[in-house]
Amino acid sequence: MLDHSSKVPVTGDPLTDILRGLRLDGVEYGRCEMQEPWGLQFPAQTAARFHFIGRKGCWLLQPSGEWVELRAGDAVLLPRGAAHVLASEPGTEASPIQGYEVGEVCKGVYCLSNEGCRPGTLLFFGSMYFNLDGLHPLLGMMPDVMRAHELEAYEPAIPHLLEAMAREVTMERVGSGGILARLADVLAATVIRSWVERGCGDSSGWIAAVRDRE
């Protein structure tokens, strides 16, 4: 009997075969509403980290030590789960995300907030594992931070996915947590696919060699 679970059929297209191994399995998601001033520390982890900014904007302290502004409707993926900070303004004192009390919305999806009644910055974030060997060259080639808006001109699906996430995260309808989790998985995979198809930022690298191989 053939073991269909241990092998992925080869298509003859090296790039397609690589992309077929890029499934992301989400393990935990959070919906977060924060009143200014605020800062959240996210520790380093083996899983990829995903953030979507649903309302207002914030700043990301990247692993490089540089602050970058994120606007409402933006999304970022940290494929290797590097330590980073999200804050209302650069330099704002940040608290570890683990220190906040959370409420479970549904399985694998929780919510948290700081004190305040005014509409605050609305975030949706998640942790995801690649269905890929941790030593795969592709993981090492990925940048520390991948921004969806930087790729949307090359990937028509990205704006639609961002719009769908913006609607779900602000409406708080029944089942929105699960829908947001699935949208996050698809968006993260789409961002990576677009990055791979554009040459992974290094036309002389490993992916370029694979793409040129016949």
For residue range 25-45, what is the model confidence (pLDDT) as tens digits? 777 888 888 999 999 999 999
Q: Where are the domains of the chain?
A: 24-204
Spatial separation of the C-alpha atoms in residues 103 and 106, rounded to whole Å: 9
Spatial separation of the C-alpha atoms in residues 212 and 201, rounded to whole Å: 15
pLDDT at 205: 55
Residue 91, pLDDT > 90, answer yes
Spatial separation of the C-alpha atoms in residues 8 and 20, rounded to whole Å: 8
**CB–CB of 56/72 below 8 Å?**
yes
For residue range 49-61, what is the model confidence (pLDDT) as tens digits? 999 998 899 999 9
Classify domain 24-204 by CATH number: 2.60.120.10
The number of angstroms, rounded, from the C-alpha of 140 to the middle of its chain's C-alpha atoms is 17
